[in-house]
Structure 1
Amino acid sequence: METKPLFSTINAGKYKGKKILLPSLESTRSTKAILKGSFFDSVHYDIVDELFVEVFGGSGSMGLEALSRGAKHAYFIEKDKAAFSTLKRNCESIDKTHTTALHGDSFLLFPTLVAHFTCKAYFYFDPPFSIREGMESVYEKVLSLIASIPQEKVHLIAIEHMSTLVLPEVIGAFTLQKTKKFGKSSLSYYA
C-alpha cells in the first residue's frame, strides 16, 4: 500500500498557502501548527530582513515560514538523508535564492556556520525529543551548543522541547525570557 505524502502549508506572508512536503514521521517530528503560530506571533516583524537558522531542519517549515514573513535568508541543517532530500525540495519550490540547506550533523556544522555570520540571527532549535532511541543526551548537547554561540550574533534563541523537560534559567550568555507550553511540547525563549 502506497502512503500519501504529508503536507504542511505556509501560514502567512508572501508564500502563504504554499505547500511544504513533510518527511516521514520515522525520521522527524513536525512542529505543531499552534506552536508555530505562537512563535511567529512572538517575533512578528522583528525577523524582517534578519537571518533565521533552523538548526534541526526537518522539512524546513519554521525557516520557510520565517522567509515568507520577511526574513532575509534562512539556513537549515539536517542529518537524516531522507529528511534532507525533502528539505532541499521544499527550499527549491519555495525560494532557492534565499535558503541554504546543509546536510550533516548539526552539532558539527553549526559552529562553522555561525562563525561566518557578520550580523545577528534568530536561532530555532527543535532537536529530536530525547525519548527517541539514541537521543538520550540530545538536550545536554543542545545546551552546550547554545552556550558556545557568541552573544553578538544572537537576536533570539528559541528551543522547542518536551514539556516534561525544565530548561535552565541561564545558558551561557543567554537568559530564559519565557516558556510556553503546548501539550507535550513547549517553546522556551532565550536572549
Structure 2
Amino acid sequence: MAIKPLSSTISAGKYKGKKILLPSLESTRSTKAILKGSLFDSLQYDIVDELFVEVFGGSGSMGLEALSRGAKHAYFIEKDKAAFQTLKSNCKAIDEEHTTPLEGDSFILFPTLLGKLTCKAYFYFDPPFSIREGMEDVYENVMGLIASIPREMAHWIVIEHMSTLVLPEAIGSYTLTKRKKFGNSSLSFYM
C-alpha cells in the first residue's frame, strides 16, 4: 500500500481549497489551521499588495495563504533539503510568479534577503521549537534577526513559538502588541 503524502489546504482567498503538500514531520512542524486562521483574521486586508516573508519556510503554507489573500509576493527560506523540495513544488503549483523560495540557513540568508527588499514587509518567524536537538538557542538567534530589521522595513513581525516560552516585551525597536495561545503553540505580534 502506497503512503499518501501529508497535505493541507489554503483556507481562503483566490487559491482557497488548493492543496499544499507537507514535508516529513521529522524535518518540520506544520502550523495548525486554527492558528493560521487567527493570524490572517488579525492581518485581514492589511496584507493586500504587500510583501510576506516566511523566514522558516517549511511547506510555505503561511506565505501561500498570504498570497491567496492578496499579498503581492511571498519569500521563503528553508534549510532542510527535502522540505525545500516540497516548498518549491508548492510554490510552482500555487503561484510560481509571485513566490521566491530560497534554500539555506535562515540565519545566514535572512540578512541578504532583507537587504534586497525595496519596501515594507510582514515577517513571519516559525523556527523549530527549542526542544529539538541542536535548537536550544534558536529563539535567542531569532530575536537577533528581528532586532536587525530596520523599523521602516516592517509592518508587523509575528513569531510562532512554544506556549511555555514567554517572549520579551520588546525586541530591538519592536514592541509586543499581543499574544495568542493555541494549545502548545502561541503567536506573538510585534510592531
Please tell me the TM-score bracket, short chain as reference: over 0.9
CA distance in 2 between counterparts of 1:40 and 1:159 reads 14
Post-superposition CA distance 1:54-93 (Å, at most 9, x none): 0000000000000000000000000000000000000000
CA distance in 1 between counterparts of 2:92 and 2:152 reads 31
CA distance in 2 between counterparts of 1:2 and 1:157 reads 40
Superposition deviation, residue 117 in structure 1 = 1.2
Superposition deviation, residue 165 in structure 1 = 0.2
Tell me the SS of whatever aligns to 1:166.
Answer: coil
Tell me the SS of whatever aligns to 1:181.
Answer: strand
Q: Which residue of 1 aligns with 2:47?
A: 47
Superposition deviation, residue 129 in structure 1 = 0.2
Q: Number of matched residues?
A: 191
Would you say 1:82 and 2:82 are equivalent positions?
A: yes
* Gaps in structure 1 of 5+ consecutive residues: none
Tell me the SS of whatever aligns to 2:94.
Answer: helix
CA distance in 1 between counterparts of 2:2 and 2:169 reads 46
Post-superposition CA distance 1:28-76 (Å, at most 9, x none): 0000000000000000000000000000000000000000000000000
Tell me the SS of whatever aligns to 1:168.
Answer: coil
CA distance in 2 between counterparts of 1:152 and 1:54 reads 18
Q: Which residue of 1 aligns with 2:190?
A: 190
Tell me the SS of whatever aligns to 1:188.
Answer: strand
Letter in 2 for 1:118: T
Structure 1 segments of 4 or more deviating over 4 A? none
Letter in 2 for 1:111: P
- Percent identity over paired residues: 81
Post-superposition CA distance 1:140-167 (Å, at most 9, x none): 0000110011110000000000000000
Superposition deviation, residue 2 in structure 1 = 4.2
Equivalent residues in 2 for 1:139-158, closer than 5 Å: 139-158=139-158
Q: Which residue of 1 aligns with 2:22?
A: 22
TM-score, normalised with respect to structure 2: 0.99
Q: Which residue of 2 aligns with 1:167?
A: 167
Tell me the SS of whatever aligns to 2:26.
Answer: coil
Q: Which residue of 1 aligns with 2:34?
A: 34
Letter in 1 for 2:188: S
Superposition deviation, residue 4 in structure 1 = 1.6
